[in-house]
């Protein structure tokens, strides 16, 4: 489940950087957030488990050049619970930038670590994350709705074939059965298909 930053409470921000000077620049840039809780890790080792324990709202990652292991760590974190991730890198390649975005990174900044830029970049990353999550939820809902309609259509088809009834009557029977049993019509349709499959096989 996605973890969107809760603006009603202080942000919990995790900085991952083995370089003290770079981490200090990020912390200085986050000073505008006032009472934000800032935590720091030096290594990416076992990152998914540590993020699960800490439950940060936002993650900052500073590296010289991201490697496959770094991006895989980001992907694991995003798969477990998506949240805004900002990655600052000293140098990069086009393919790495694309992979980072696919791994769930919201903002990928090359050679641009500056205290004054940290907050604006984070604000945009959070906004981009929220927009992306909304689009993703809408897409998932559309897919779910389509799958539900297909299941109901299939159940209607079975009733029409087996009971020689019209499409309207088949749907009415599904709906009445759902109301009588106090269950969603999708569950009734799914059960009907399962029974038909069992009898057939």
Regarding whether 18 and 99 lie in a shared domain, the answer is: yes
Asked, for residue 2, whether it belongs to a domain, the answer is no
Regarding whether 90 and 59 lie in a shared domain, the answer is: yes
Asked, for residue 6, whether it belongs to a domain, the answer is no
Regarding whether 74 and 32 lie in a shared domain, the answer is: yes
Phi and psi angles of residue 184, each rounded to the nearest 5 degrees, phi first? -65, 145
Regarding whether 114 and 19 lie in a shared domain, the answer is: yes
Asked, for residue 76, whether it belongs to a domain, the answer is yes
Into how many domains does the chain fold? 2
Residue 2 reports pLDDT greater than 60:
no
Regarding whether 79 and 34 lie in a shared domain, the answer is: yes
The per-residue pLDDT for range 90-99, each reduced to its tens digit, is 887 778 888 8
Regarding whether 151 and 113 lie in a shared domain, the answer is: no
Which residue range is the domain that position 151 belongs to?
Answer: 141-200
DSSP 145-164: HHHHHHHHHHHHHHHHHHH-
Regarding whether 22 and 47 lie in a shared domain, the answer is: yes
Domain CATH for 131: 3.40.50.2300
pTM above 0.85, yes or no: no
The per-residue pLDDT for range 158-178, each reduced to its tens digit, is 999 889 989 999 999 999 999
Residue 201 reports pLDDT greater than 70:
no
Domain boundary pick from 93, 123, 138: 138
The per-residue pLDDT for range 32-48, each reduced to its tens digit, is 777 888 888 887 777 88
Regarding whether 118 and 20 lie in a shared domain, the answer is: yes
C-alpha closest to that of 65 among 89, 42, 47: 89
Domain CATH for 192: 1.10.10.10
Domain boundary pick from 92, 116, 138: 138
Q: How far is CA 57 from the centre of its chain?
A: 13
- Per DSSP (E only), the strands in 65-155 are 85-89, 107-110
Q: How many CB atoms lie under 10 A from the CB of residue 68?
A: 9
Q: How far is Cα 171 from Cα 152, in angstroms, rounded to an integer? A: 8
First-to-final CA distance of the chain: 37
Regarding whether 104 and 183 lie in a shared domain, the answer is: no
Q: How far is Cα 95 from Cα 49, in angstroms, rounded to an integer? A: 27
pLDDT band at 5 (very low <50, low <70, confident <90, very high): low
Regarding whether 77 and 62 lie in a shared domain, the answer is: yes
């Amino acid at each position: 489940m996605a973890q969107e930053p809760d603006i009603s409470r202080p942000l919990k921000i995790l900085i991952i950087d083995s370089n003290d000077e770079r981490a200090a620049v990020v912390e200085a840039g986050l000073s505008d957030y006032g009472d934000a809780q800032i935590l720091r890790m030096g290594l990416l080792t076992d990152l998914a488990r540590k993020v699960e324990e800490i439950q940060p709202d936002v993650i900052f990652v500073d590296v010289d050049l991201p490697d496959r292991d770094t991006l895989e760590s980001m992907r694991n974190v995003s798969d477990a619970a998506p949240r805004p991730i900002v990655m600052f890198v000293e140098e990069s390649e086009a393919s790495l930038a694309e992979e980072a975005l696919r791994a769930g990174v919201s903002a990928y900044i090359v050679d641009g670590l500056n205290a004054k830029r940290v907050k604006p970049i984070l604000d945009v990353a959070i906004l981009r994350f929220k927009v992306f999550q909304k689009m993703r939820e809408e897409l998932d809902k559309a897919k779910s709705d389509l799958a539900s309609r297909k299941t109901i259509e299939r159940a209607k088809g079975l009733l029409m074939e087996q009971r020689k009834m019209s499409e309207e009557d088949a749907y009415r029977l599904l709906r009445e059965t759902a109301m009588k049993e106090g269950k969603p019509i999708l569950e009734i349709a799914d059960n009907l298909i399962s029974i038909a499959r069992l009898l057939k096989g």
